[in-house]
Structure 1
Amino acid sequence: MSGYRHVLPGAAVLAVALLAGCQGGTDDGAGGDGVPVSVERLAEMADEVGPDGSDTCPLPYDFAKAASTAKITGEAGDGAAAGDDEPAATAENGYKAEKGAPFADNPGGLVSCWFHVGGQSVEVHLVAAEKPQPESLLAPVLVRVSGQDAEELDPYLRRTEKGEPGTPVLGTTGDYATVRVEPEGEGHAALLLTLGEPEGPGLGEDQLSALSRALYEQIS
């Protein structure tokens, strides 16, 4: 496991409005009729999680169901893989970002939750912001996960900008994927999956793509 935290250098992360229906939208909690995402609600949720993180994910993902839908075998559930000591969820409110911070010019919200399938840890980031391409605000996360430098990510972010909602865009190193999400009301949102170092075989690109799509369907 890489052991990174997604906190960006010198800045609080975005505040996105999400889950207008999170508090009782679908009958089974997730993956039913979808959970509306909004910038304002996601920002509020980031405050509810708090700066130290939480031992539970506030979003109604059903990760085991998503892994099954993606035809990924292995025990799947909440939290990072065994041996990882990350909080189950972390979040940041971009409306409270300091001047000069990455999210200061594009306020919104971010909630990131850890899951696992077998020995593979998966961090699921839901980010929303007032201006387009909120996923670009998580470039420091992609740098840490992939080992690429910021300039190498530019072509990838150009691809995510043109991506269709619900269509995963895979990173060139095979350990991250982005899906554009249409939020309720004004603003822009994206679902970003990043992989930790696996204990044993990790997820392949097709599996990561299918998992991204399955989780997207739970919130759209």
Structure 2
Amino acid sequence: MGERKVPGGGLTVAAVFAAVLAACSGYGAHGGDAGHRGERAAAPAPRLSVAALRKKAAAAGRECPVAYRPGAALRAAGVRGEAARVEGGSVLGELPDGPDEPLTRARGALVDCGYRLGGERARLFTVGVRKGYAVAVLLPQIQHDARLTMDQLRRFARQARDAEPGRPLLAPGGNVAAVRLPGAGDGDVALVVTLGEGRTRLSGRQVATLADRLAEQAPGGDAAGAASTRKSHR
């Protein structure tokens, strides 16, 4: 099982994590499905539990253990030609390791699948936690990849904490998006998509749609339900 390295080192990660969580007093109270889709008639898809994600992280090999189809998601976002070319890359699984790690405190698991999309670096992070909200674990990574200031990161963290499942949240700069997935059982599960190095050739709408469609592909994705949120991406 590989080890994910967040740029900046452990002290930077700890400082960012502590500062943002201090601004988001709801940490630890969130978890599970908010249930806002109960009125929809479509039968629920199989959902991704934190326990299932832990197994995927532990068994991560050469292929992404979450059944994402980035090529199809790019086409749905209106990306064509060379920009829609997909190349496989790294696959890492991460489980709690050490008492001060964010995953340990959140009792979570992470799967990191890397690709090249149209020549741009892309990473699909699937994260699940039993305590708190899933996106919080990846805030240092989001700050680095989206080049966010601390104020921007705090605002994004609050929005991610309150986000409804299935609705993509685009970070300032437009190259990072997060989507909460409707999880199974206790806990919170999310997908975070990052593209490029601080910027991407795709538009903000394309990145939001890409994240939306990838979330639909994951176990627990709800194609019928997510469709109702697309008009509100941008």
Class of the TM-score when normalised by the shorter of the 2 chains: 0.7 to 0.9
* 1:90 counterpart (80, 89, 92): 92
Structure 1 residue 42: deviation in Å?
Answer: 0.8
Alpha-carbon distance in structure 2 between the residues aligned to 1:34 and 1:56: 23
Task: Provide Cα deviations, 1:88-125, integer angstroms capped at 9, x if missing partner.
Answer: 2112012xx21112222111110011223312222111
**Gap regions ≥5 residues in structure 2:** 14-43, 222-234
Structure 1 residue 146: deviation in Å?
Answer: 2.1
Q: Is the 8 A contact 1:175 1:194 kept in 2?
A: yes
Tell me the residue number matched to 1:187: 187
Percent sequence identity over aligned pairs: 27
Task: Return the structure number with greater helix share.
Answer: 2
Q: Secondary structure at the match of 2:124?
A: strand
Letter paired with 1:67? L
Q: Is the 8 A contact 2:147 2:198 kept in 1?
A: no
Q: Is the 8 A contact 2:152 2:172 kept in 1?
A: no
Letter paired with 1:163? A
Tell me the residue number matched to 1:40: 51
Give the 3 Å change call, closer, same or farther, for CA 122–35 of structure 1 in structure 2: farther
Displaced runs of 4+ in structure 1, greater than 4 A? Answer: 8-11
Task: Provide Cα deviations, 1:5-41, integer angstroms capped at 9, x if missing partner.
Answer: 8434459xxxxxxxxxxxxxxxxxxxxx855211011
Tell me the residue number matched to 2:16: none
Q: Is the 8 A contact 2:112 2:124 kept in 1?
A: yes
Letter paired with 1:217? E
Give the 3 Å change call, closer, same or farther, for CA 149–101 of structure 1 in structure 2: farther
* 1:72 counterpart (70, 79, 90): 79
Query: Aligned-residue CA RMSD in angstroms?
Result: 2.4
Q: Is the 8 A contact 2:4 2:94 kept in 1?
A: no
**Gap regions ≥5 residues in structure 1:** 12-32, 80-86
Structure 1 residue 198: deviation in Å?
Answer: 9.2
Tell me the residue number matched to 2:144: 144
Aligned length: 181
Q: Secondary structure at the match of 2:213?
A: helix
Q: Does 1:203 align with 2:202?
A: yes
Q: Secondary structure at the match of 1:104?
A: helix
* TM-score normalised by L of structure 1: 0.74
Give the 3 Å change call, closer, same or farther, for CA 70–170 of structure 1 in structure 2: same
